[in-house]
Structure 1
Amino acid sequence: MTISYTINAPLEASQAAELFISAGLRRPVDDLRRIGRMLEHADILITAWDGDRLVGVARAITDFSLCCYLSDLAVRKEYQHQGIGKELIHVLRGQLGEEVMLLLLSAPTAMDYYPKIGFVKLVNAFEYPRAQ
């Protein structure tokens, strides 16, 4: 298996939704228009492919100068624990450069994963929750 990575390649909402389901991410997968907007308005979209099969995605919003919010990091369930998520972040950081902080909100099931790949746990964050 050879995984290839792309930067800002076109991605269909249905492909992303199917990946989110497989990866166990809670996203509005029944609303493909909303998923499409999520993809359209991302500043950086890194995708991982096994041939023509989407196996991972990192979707981020950034100013390319100070900060970047990693809004999605998803790897298809059967491809997890193979370094794909770590490589998605590596490719993303390569696009951002050394000056940009990478920030994310973790799913409860991934809390132990992020420190293993270099993230530092923070306690000084706040959320203004969405209505939907």
Structure 2
Amino acid sequence: MVTITDQKPTMPEVLALYKSVGWSMYTRDPARLERALTHSLMVLGAYEGKQLVGLIRAVGDGETILFIQDLLVLPEYQRRGIGKQLIEALLARFPEVRQRVLLTDDDPKTRSFYKAAGFVESQQMGVIAFYHDQH
């Protein structure tokens, strides 16, 4: 049984989770990742017992925009509904926020997952997304 909580995970737990899904850009600078988590609007963890098995992180103002920055689930726990539970728990905490946005990789599995979770592609809403990367 997985429990979703806003209990702050430890950095070793977080680093292990990010590494397990191959997000090495985050784990190269643990202090920066810790600051990012601290300054996030909300971080929710999914725990099975005492083990962190998933995490969702949101940034924004909590009033007009909610940007889902990270959603991770340990590979051996994927396809069990944990990611969807994390999204639902996060969105339930901000029911009045109109703009709920995320930017993610463009691959069929990812598209399918987010569509099943109720998200639509930006062009279907008559808007366009822009991205500016400093590197």
**Structure 1 match to 2:62:** 64
Output the amino acid matched with 1:77.
Answer: P
1:26 positional shift: 4.9
Distance 1:58 1:32 in 2: 17
Count residues in correspondence: 129
Shift of residue 100, structure 1, vs aligned partner: 3.2
* Structure 1 Cα separation of the partners of residues 97 and 29 of structure 2: 35
Structure 2, unpaired ranges of 5+: none
Aligned to 1:103, what secondary structure does the other structure show?
Answer: strand
User: Who is 2:132 aligned against?
Assistant: 128
Q: Give secondary structure in 2 for the equivalent of 1:129.
A: coil
Structure 1 Cα separation of the partners of residues 71 and 105 of structure 2: 10
Match of 2:9 in 1: 11
- Which secondary structure does the structure 1 equivalent of 2:93 belong to? helix
CA contact (8 A) 1:25 1:74 kept: no
**Secondary structure at the residue paired with 2:58?**
strand
Aligned-pair distance for 1:24?
3.5
CA drift of 1:14 comes to 2.6
Could you tell me how far 1:66 is from its partner in structure 2? 1.1
Check the 8 A contact 2:63/2:96 in 1, yes or no. Answer: no
Identity value in percent: 30
What are the Cα deviations for residues 10-50 of structure 1, in whole angstroms up to 9, with x where unaligned?
Answer: 22233212111212335321211111111111110111001
In the other structure, the counterpart of 2:91 is: 93
In structure 1, runs of 5+ residues without a counterpart are none
Q: 1:59, 1:73 within 8 Å by CA — same for their partners in 2? A: yes
> In structure 2, how many angstroms separate the alpha carbons of the residues matched to 1:130 and 1:12?
30
TM-score, normalised with respect to structure 2? 0.87
Higher helix proportion: 2
Superposed CA RMSD in Å reads 1.5
Q: Which amino acid aligns with 1:125?
A: A
1:47 aligns to 2:45 (yes or no): yes
- Any runs of at least 4 consecutive aligned residues in structure 1 with deviations exceeding 3 A, and if so which? 24-27
Deviates more, 1:53-62 or 1:100-109: 100-109
- The amino acid of 1:75's aligned partner reads V
